[in-house]
């Protein structure tokens, strides 16, 4: 418990360091000015949303395939999908805050924005279905199928800027190289990895809290 | 190109975005820790043990 808390405190400090670099050390963008600094938090949360929703889908598939360990995979899936939902909401919120000064609107029914909203809504559906399915085995199956559906949607969100005409900028980092300067790339990647590290620690804590709660409920029911 | 929107300075948008992320993630991390501690504490206080639970299952 103490080790996990200390690691979380360390990752929080590192993340705050990354944010300090993004806010006060990197120069302004020649096209967007200072508002582009939102990208250093928007891109990491969007990547974390992708990672955790895909992880939720993988846990869902494992829960269906390996029935003997279904409880463990279900707990991991729930924690991953919670993080996926949270990060999807944050990606939408930070994107909207950036969109207002840059595009002049909070929202546009653009392919990237719409598919991200769909990703968020499917992950909300996951939690609603969990809450309204009282039977444990049925809940695990329903949750697993919804998590897989949510995970399958992620590549569609990622490639939406290439598949359809979009006002959202295309991928900055492609196989042919980066469209950003070296200092911007370094700060962005640092923030992506620090956010991912922080989210992995939070995932571990949340998975343990779900496990402890389920164990307590099982003990109470066994009386 | 863009330093803000209308009379609103760019700092408002930037710090608002970082603030939302900090508050949400901080609250979720604290929630996870508190739920874990609370469940572990209740399990011990109510006199349950892992061995007893495994036997019943």
- pLDDT value at position B46? 87
| pLDDT tens track for B1-57 | 445 566 778 888 999 999 999 999 999 999 999 999 999 999 988 888 777 767 766
Say whether pLDDT at A177 is over 70: no
User: What tens digit of pLDDT does each residue of A210-220 get?
Assistant: 999 999 998 88
Contact yes or no for A209 and B33 at CB 8 A: yes
Instruction: Find the residue in B nearest to A202 (Cα).
Output: B29
pTM for this structure? Answer: 0.91
Three-state SS for A36-66 is HHHHHHHHHHHHHHHHHHHHHHHHHHHHHHC
Which DSSP symbol is given to A22?
I
Partner-chain contact A209 B53, CB within 8 Å = no
Radius of gyration for chain B, computed over Cα atoms and rounded to the nearest angstrom? 23
Looking at the predicted structure, is the pLDDT value of residue A27 above 50? yes
Q: How many CB atoms lie within 10 A of CB A113?
A: 21
Residue-level pLDDT at B1: 47
For tokens 């640092």, what's the residue? Answer: A190
- Structure confidence at residue A76 (pLDDT): 96
Strands (E) across A94-199 are located at: 173-174, 177-178
Q: pLDDT above 70 covers what percent of chain A?
A: 93
pLDDT band at A164 (very low <50, low <70, confident <90, very high): confident
Interface of A with B in 89-108 (CB under 8 A): 89-90, 93-94, 97-98, 100-102, 104
């Amino acid at each position: 418990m103490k080790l996990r808390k200390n690691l979380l405190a360390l990752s929080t400090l590192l993340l705050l360091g990354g944010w300090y670099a993004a806010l006060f050390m990197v120069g302004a963008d020649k096209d967007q000015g200072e508002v582009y600094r939102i990208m250093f938090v928007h891109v990491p949360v969007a990547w974390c949303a992708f990672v955790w929703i895909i992880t939720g889908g993988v846990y869902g598939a494992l829960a269906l395939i390996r029935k003997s360990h279904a409880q463990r995979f279900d707990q991991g899936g729930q924690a991953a999908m919670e993080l996926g939902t949270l990060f999807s909401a944050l990606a939408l919120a930070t994107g909207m805050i950036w969109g207002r000064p840059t595009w002049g609107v909070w929202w546009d029914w653009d392919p990237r924005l719409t598919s991200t909203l769909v990703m968020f809504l499917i992950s909300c559906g996951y939690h609603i279905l969990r809450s309204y399915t009282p039977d444990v085995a049925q809940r695990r199956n329903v949750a697993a199928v919804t998590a897989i559906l949510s995970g399958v949607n992620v590549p569609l969100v990622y490639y939406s800027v290439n598949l359809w005409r979009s006002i959202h900028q295309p991928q900055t980092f492609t196989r042919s190289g980066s469209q950003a300067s070296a200092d911007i790339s370094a700060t962005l990647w640092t923030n992506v990895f620090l956010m991912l590290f922080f989210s992995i620690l939070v995932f571990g804590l949340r998975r343990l809290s779900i496990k402890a709660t389920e164990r307590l409920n099982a003990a109470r029911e066994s009386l | 190109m863009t330093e803000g929107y209308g009379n609103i300075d760019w700092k408002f948008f930037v710090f608002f975005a970082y603030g939302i992320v900090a508050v949400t993630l901080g609250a979720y991390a604290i929630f996870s820790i508190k739920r874990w501690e609370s469940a572990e504490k209740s399990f011990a206080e109510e006199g349950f043990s892992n061995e007893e639970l495994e036997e019943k299952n």
